[in-house]
Amino acid sequence: MHGQDVTLNGVSMRYPNGFVAVEPTDLTIRAGEFFSILGPSGCGKTTILRMISGFLDPTTGSVAIGGRPMEGIGPNHRPTALIFQNLALFPLMTVRENVAFGLEARGMAKAERRRRADELLSLVALDGQGGKRPGELSGGQRQRVAVARALAVEPAVLLLDEPLSALDLKLRQHMRAELKDIQRKTGVTFIYITHDQGEALTMSDRVAVMNRGRIEQVGDADEIYNAPSTAFAATFVGEQNRFSGTVVETDSETALIETPLGRLSGINRHGLKRGDNAHLFIRPERMAVALNGAAAGLDNRVEAQLERRDLEGPFLNLLMRAGGHPVTLHVTNAGDGPALAPGQPVPVGFRRKDAIVLRAED
């Protein structure tokens, strides 16, 4: 088994009722990569997956897998295997028959496919469960049966459509590690669809952030989290404090924007110019309370008022308001911070290099 690359060339999908699910998109997924497509429901990520698997034909553009154009090739003849959101295991067959189904369809002899199925079941740590029905297994086990069933046909690309969404949190975290492990062992290209940023960031080699039929950013987890390139990508992944305003001054790296709370500055990576409408994003954990001399090094200052203080063990959530605008801070619970009470005015601040100035889209 080895992975192949997937290339989308200007692929778009427009439904007969006029709804555009996917705008023309170019995307290259490298061979053997764990690639996630992250986006809210209805953003078109499942449509992309279905176009790669062959269940949908793109309205424009073309899909190539391993350099081979896929036009006119049905889902049963593509080197892909799809894992459905609800897994779609065959309830009337045993686990082993489920796993062997793809081999059966390829005309493999019974003894041989039984041996292969048992091999795959042990790969996903389900030895000895082959005789059971899917209904007798737990959620995590069913999940692994679905993976084994898809891997049985030795796909070059495995497509996963939010397969973990039905599991509880603990199991989900466990399965993340297992999927990643299986991907590493098999070397198959994984394309993973999810709306869960935690899943996308922890498992993937690269992530595509998608919104309204358009891919907004492609990058590894660090880039996606630390250097979002659009306002949507900035807000969809993780938490953000947002300050809106107009660019009044720029230099080679930073921009200064005029907001109702005063002038604030941040990194200007996308070449905004004077007069542009912009948002400034700053992560809650990158903000600090500017009291008792802690203000040093904070280029930006905002006067806020504490509304609530939630202790979440390792860190504190400080929910504030600045000029009617909500501001959230995550502060490390060092035990020696200033005592803060709700209703108290608190100056907060952040460093210029932690803030990002992006174009306001609307």
Is the CB of 1 or the CB of 88 nearer to other proteins?
88
Please give, one letter per residue, the 3-state secondary structure of 149-183: HHHHCCCCEEEEECCCCCCCHHHHHHHHHHHHHHH
Is the CB of 152 or the CB of 290 nearer to other proteins?
152
Helix (H, G, I), strand (E, B) or coil at 33: coil
Q: Are 316 and 309 in contact (CB under 8 A)?
A: yes
Q: Are 302 and 348 in contact (CB under 8 A)?
A: yes
266-289 as b/e, with b when 16 or more CB fall inside 10 Å?
A: bbbeeebeeebebbbbbbbebbbb
Q: Which of residues 37-56 bind other proteins (CB under 8 A)?
A: 53, 55
Minimum CB distance to other proteins, residue 157 (Å) = 12
Measured distance CA(159)–CA(155) in Å, rounded: 10
Stretch that binds other proteins, among 59-67, 104-112, 212-220, 270-278 (CB under 8 A): 104-112
Which of 1, 92, 125, 177 touches other proteins by CB under 8 A? 92
Block residue for tokens 């990002």? 356
Is the CB of 150 or the CB of 289 nearer to other proteins?
150
Does 109 help bind other proteins (rule: CB under 8 A)?
Answer: no
Does 84 help bind other proteins (rule: CB under 8 A)?
Answer: yes
Measured distance CA(205)–CA(33) in Å, rounded: 6
Does 6 help bind other proteins (rule: CB under 8 A)?
Answer: no
Does 19 help bind other proteins (rule: CB under 8 A)?
Answer: no
Q: Which of residues 53-82 bind other proteins (CB under 8 A)?
A: 53, 55, 74-77, 80-82
Please choose, from the candidates 50, 78, 59, the residue with its C-alpha nearest in 3D space to the C-alpha of residue 191.
50
Structure tokens at 209: 């952030």
Measured distance CA(203)–CA(196) in Å, rounded: 11
Task: Please compute, for residue 272, the number of CA atoms within 13 A of its CA located in the half-sphere on the CB side.
Answer: 30
User: Using the 8-state DSSP alphabet, how is residue 156 labeled?
Assistant: S
Measured distance CA(23)–CA(48) in Å, rounded: 10
Is the CB of 84 or the CB of 315 nearer to other proteins?
84
Does 105 help bind other proteins (rule: CB under 8 A)?
Answer: yes
Is the CB of 153 or the CB of 360 nearer to other proteins?
153
Stretch that binds other proteins, among 144-152, 178-186, 281-289, 303-311 (CB under 8 A): 144-152
Which of 137, 153, 166, 171 touches other proteins by CB under 8 A? 153
Is the CB of 85 or the CB of 328 nearer to other proteins?
85
Is the CB of 80 or the CB of 268 nearer to other proteins?
80
User: Could you list the residues that contact other proteins (CB under 8 A)?
Assistant: 53, 55, 74-77, 80-82, 84-86, 88-90, 92-93, 101-102, 104-106, 149-150, 152-153
